[in-house]
A and B are shown apart, each in its own frame.
Chain A
Amino acid sequence: EPEVTQTPSHQVTQMGQEVILRCVPISNHLYFYWYRQILGQKVEFLVSFYNNEISEKSEIFDDQFSVERPDGSNFTLKIRSTKLEDSAMYFCASSERTREKLFFGSGTQLSVL
């Protein structure tokens, strides 16, 4: 079965550093998402991306965050200057159509020291 692939599985960084989280969505999917989950808390929406542009973003997704689909297969989340509170599990997801099931990757555990 096709799956969403995320790299790296773990990322440790110093506060203020830039990080790029990478994702390869399922090949025929058109809608791409980033969610995050702080330990012990709910899964939270960050951003959705369709047709090479952001279609929706949450209040969490401020100017420090950006997303990009640099080629036909990769989807990235960049955090320009990480903060301690950015420490979380970041999940990439994709779907074939809107309002249908999302397929999630296994996540990148980001630890900001």
Chain B
Amino acid sequence: EDQVTQSPEALRLQEGESSSLNCSYTVSGLRGLFWYRQDPGKGPEFLFTLYSAGEEKEKERLKATLTKKESFLHITAPKPEDSATYLCAVIPSQGGSEKLVFGKGTKLTVNP
């Protein structure tokens, strides 16, 4: 069964304190890995798509990387407005499915 596991479940940082969120996946082939940000009571907001091991994407204070078994979302010098739940999702390659398989997310709190 395709699985996506995110760690830690929750993370508290001080403003400016860099860290990384982990997303490990067990899927029958990978057609794409997605990072989303979700604010309370809102829908997921797209951040990055990664398609192959070694790929990296960057946007402001966020950088996503991908290996054959996991992805990291690196947050450099975070600000309070980066507080949100960060979701990782994959599209497995088996069977031609196009559905996103989500992890439970990492709830990030950045204190001023």
Contacts and interface: CB of A to CB of B under 8 A. Distances in A.
A55 B10 CA distance: 35
A45 B32 contact: no
A58 B102 CA distance: 14
Contact of A42 (B32, B98, B103): B103
B104 interface: yes
Interface residues of A, number: 25
A35 B101 CA distance: 10
A41 interface: yes
Interface residues of B, number: 23
Contacts of A98: 98
Interface centre among B89, B91, B98, B101 (most CB of A within 10 A): B98
Contacts of A48: 98-99
Interface in A35-50: 35, 41-45, 48
A2 B36 CA distance: 17
Nearest to A40: B104
A110 B31 CA distance: 32
A91 interface: yes
A87 to B, nearest CB: 15
B80 interface: no
Contacts of A75: none
A102 B87 CA distance: 13
Nearest to B36: A104
